[in-house]
Structure 1
């Protein structure tokens, strides 16, 4: 079996039917799988998924303090900007364009560390990166860990049900996973440790890193605006952590073909360019699927790309030494030919009308 077909832990309901079609589990089957994989008492190898969702519970508590104790409209604005713009753009910059696609290179580990920790740490890199490689290899096909055709819950709970790495890899396959994560700075488990914990990430280093990150940022925000500001921002981060789990369902047309001519040029999958994720986080998703290794996805004047702005700023400051920018290729291969073809068609229609 090919590496890309076996690198993720297959759910109990399988990736596909005997006919080769996407296996579409019922909501009950999805929830059953979800809670089974969160149970650290039944299997300690579930620790990473459990930790990920416990972070959301803690952040949800902070959100509750903000809503019921510290609420003000000025803090609502802060929460909006932090969750939608700061967390959203950071997810694109760090997890998407660097950790997964290596769209740019840092000068040294210091700049990488700053970028990694410039916001609250929410998503373990391992859960995002390995599964996202599979997503691009199998977009909208059986085996895609967040295949929108599986439905909302299929995507929303994918980080537990579909994205964790397989727990029975041989040493060679595990080594390939380690290499996929090496540039992120993660110190991966040895193969013996992987057999014990079922993950690339080490629980002590991972949880310790989260606590240090959260402790630092809570102190910073507390010093600026007390518990009110700290709870607001931590709660906003939790709101983002839940909301981001809906992105691929929406970004692939909710399982339907919602691509538009002249807007979505990639026709190999159902990804679409959406205005809101594009503006607040630089996630012009159809453009990204055309050129996944590009550090910029906002190729047109109206496609604001704040993630690209951050990468370009770091390049100007010397923190990023090189990057891939596919804007010229996009314009040359897709945008301009489409405009020229449309002009020819419109001209023919005008002549025919006369």
Structure 2
């Protein structure tokens, strides 16, 4: 899928669910809404939410844990059903984001090249939320940023059959509603509306809010080189993604909610997979390291000189990936 096709997909995945939301409001006003609609909305929101958070983000992009191929493919497929684009492009964009977060080249920073004042702030938030996906100059080549993922045939197939799999994610909740009601045709249609299109609208804007709100408002526990923030009220519906400053401080951590009270549903899922033997090599951050980082001390890149040396070494490696080198040049480990 090239950049133009990707933009058309995102446009469709943004406008069609938005229209569906207005349609759902009309039906709700006329009381054309059943318990099965709420059921499939909840089920599909959870499936696609875990697909994006635990699958696309922590498993594929940051390699926070390893799992068996069927589980890996299932999580990636659930991510495709969210309607946020192919896993390869999603991962490439996000790895690029971590490489230059809130600096020139960041695909969705709300802080670059926007005029001062309220107008500039709103323009930056819109760009970070959704506008960046329609930027003609947006490029994040998967061969450069995630060559490790490009080599996986199932991920290439999911990218090639993106529209079909996403459409299946709209039909599936209708079929679930149809089955549990014993063959109610109206439940089939409203199930597709609520569990399919309305759900895509909700999960996507929740994810996009992490990019926009999560780099503008909220608390900064750790001193990072970007403007990432922890946004508590977004943590539950985003499956833990809104502990965004925590994440930027420790990108590979499988757990974004670092404190006991920081709700992180994806971390619970990964823990459950690990306890049942379905996940291993789960990346965790020890308490001493977190305390040092919270105090403004880094054991890994504590000085400007070390950070500069690390950046220079990464810049030397990057051209090799462009020539087809098999080394993974993603910067997901950078703190």
TM-score (norm 1): 0.65
In the alignment, the residues of structure 2 paired with residue 286 and residue 110 of structure 1 have an alpha-carbon distance, to the nearest angstrom, of: 31
* 1:79, distance to aligned residue in structure 2 (A): 8.1
**Secondary structure of 1:187's match?**
helix
Instruction: Look up the match of 2:331.
Output: none
In structure 1, what is the equivalent of residue 214 of structure 2? Answer: 251
Offset of residue 52 of structure 1: 2.4
Q: What is the distance in 2 between the residues matched to 1:111 and 1:81? A: 21
Aligned to 1:157: 131
Change (3 A) 1:329 1:50: farther
Map of 2:234 onto structure 1? 277
Residues 88, 146 of structure 2: 8 Å contact kept = no
What's 1:51 paired with? 9
SS of the residue corresponding to residue 52 of structure 1 reads helix
Give the number of aligned pairs: 270
Q: Please say if residues 66 and 282 of structure 2, whose CA atoms lie closer than 8 Å, have aligned partners that are also in contact.
A: yes
For 1:146, which of 95, 108, 126 is the aligned residue? 108
Conserved 8 A contact 1:82-1:236: no
RMSD of equivalent CA atoms: 3.3
Q: Which runs of 5+ in 1 are unaligned?
A: 1-39, 189-199, 339-354
* Residue matched to 1:328: 287
**1:236 matches 2:205:** no
Give distance in 1, aligned partners of 2:210 and 2:284: 24
Q: Which residue of 1 aligns with 2:274?
A: 315
Distance in 2 between residues matched to 1:111 and 1:96, nearest whole Å: 15
Check whether the contact 2:125–2:212 (CA below 8 A) recurs between aligned residues.
yes
Provide Cα deviations, 1:283-342, integer angstroms capped at 9, x if missing partner: 21111011100111111111111010011111222221321011535444245x69xxxx
The residue that corresponds to 2:260 in the other structure is 301
Superposed displacement of residue 66, structure 1: 2.4
Q: Which residue of 2 aligns with 1:134?
A: 96
- Once residues 176 and 132 of structure 1 are traced to their aligned partners in structure 2, the CA distance between those partners, rounded to angstroms, is 9
Among 104, 118, 121, the alignment partner of 2:65 is 104
Q: Distance in 1 between matches of 2:202 and 2:266?
A: 20
Go from structure 1 to structure 2 and tell me whether the alpha carbon gap of 1:92 and 1:133 turns closer, same or farther (over 3 Å shift): same
- On the 8 A contact 2:47/2:78 being kept in 1, the answer is no
> Which residue of 2 is the match for residue 17 of structure 1?
none
Name the CA shift for 1:175/1:129 in 2 (closer, same or farther; >3 Å): closer
Q: CA offsets, 1:49-79, max 9 Å, x none?
A: 2022213333334433422124559679658
The aligned counterpart of 2:174 is 218
Note if contact 1:266-1:289 (Cα within 8 Å) is conserved in structure 2: no
Q: Say if 1:83 and 1:290 are closer, same or farther in 2 by CA, change over 3 A.
A: farther
Instruction: Tell me what 1:187 maps to.
Output: 156
Deviations 1:160-194 (A, max 9, x none): 2178536xx7xxx8466543444583127xxxxxx
The 1:212–1:232 alpha-carbon spacing in structure 2 relative to 1, beyond 3 Å, is closer
Is this contact kept in 1: 2:110–2:127, CA < 8 A?
yes
CA contact (8 A) 2:52 2:82 kept: no
Equivalent-residue separation in structure 2 for 1:129 and 1:176 (angstroms): 8
CA contact (8 A) 1:157 1:245 kept: no
TM-score of the pair, normalised by structure 2:
0.68
CA shift at 1:116, angstroms? 2.6
